Structure 1
């Protein structure tokens, strides 16, 4: 009985390692593809826009394209327009008209 218990424990351990090895992907198999990150998407877009550019011209374009900041949000526009209205000391209907114009036409 004393020899049976360690033998069963060793067998159980061996089976658990075998099961784990069977669940692991093969060494040559690739992992399932994940969704591209924002940076990877940006790189793909910039690469397509670079087109046939070569050498230093391509490097400069890619650097500029990848470092370009994201477009301003509506909240950023609102802050900017508010600051402009305050600088111009607009009030009442003048301020409303200015804000409407500023928020609708100001480029993002």
Structure 2
């Protein structure tokens, strides 16, 4: 009986350690990439627009606040300006620019 109790305690400890190790991800395995949230996408777009306009300091803060608020429904003209600025910042020309603009304008509409 005196030998049984420490043996059971050791077995319980070993099982709890094994269960914990099974829950942890493998060291070499990487987690699957998560799709960006709507807020992250909006932040990326607003940041690119502010960069394209070379805004700094308080002007940039004000622009980012307004852009990220999302209260203002953007017009097609606003979308076109934003996508055009992004395409210009990426130095896109020809078919690559057309494809980018099509994707940007359709993505901005949703």
| Higher Cα radius of gyration | 1
TM tier, smaller: 0.3 to 0.5
TM-score of the aligned structures, taking structure 2 as reference length: 0.46
